[in-house]
Structure 1
Amino acid sequence: MRTIYALVRYADCPAAVEFLTGAFEFQVHELSKNDEGVVNHAELLVGNDMIMIGAGSPGGPGVYIAVDDPDAHHDRAAAAGARITMALVDQPYGSREYACEDPEGNAWFFGTYRP
């Protein structure tokens, strides 16, 4: 079972999936769509590993880490000085998660989702 996942944000998730599968031969493991039917999250297999891509402002890549208790994790991170960039939220795909930046501005995502 994996614990750490690379995460990249794209303004146009469907186009990103098409590019990454065509150009790099990544394999689609899972696609999630929003209420309008547009892909806003994808899990792509790269050999035995996986990356996740999500809709959002492109920027530096982030890391998603699966945790058992995201509420306690969030509180500990905030108390330690992490800048919370996405409040705790229950996602439609079953994960409870949040996002933050460390003091150097690196993006970190934590939640219960384990593809």
Structure 2
Amino acid sequence: MTDSTPPPQVWHTVRARDARALIRFLVDVIGFEETAVYGDGDVVHHAQLSWPAGGGIMLGSVRDNPDDQWPIPPGTGGAYVVTDDIDAIFERAKAAGAQIVTEPHHTDYGSYDFALRDAEGNRWSFGTYRGEPRKA
């Protein structure tokens, strides 16, 4: 690890039928940062999209290969993204035609959340809940 390499984190991963379109949605509409995209033409071998507050997502095109070491069917993913900008992300997603699963609402555990499905069918929940402090 170098001084510029982030500390270990958890990264969500998905496969997509149209990985380049999913990348554009997550970057242009939601607010992820395109950190790296490796591929040929319409095929994305690996992409890293960083979340400005930390962590991110790694994704690639679905593989039609029985020896695939990461066989995640498109549309089966779900992720919770922590942000303080719920209303702005919701408005951008709605304006872009995203399928809204739940409108912004306050939860009984103190979060302000909403959820959507991307064009691949993955569920994305956005909320202000940062989790509970870790036990000592």
TM-score range, shorter chain: 0.3 to 0.5
Higher strand proportion, which one?
Answer: 1
Q: Which has the larger radius of gyration?
A: 2
RCO higher in structure (CA 8 A, sep ≥6) = 1
So what's the TM-score if we normalise by structure 2?
A: 0.40
So what's the TM-score if we normalise by structure 1?
A: 0.47
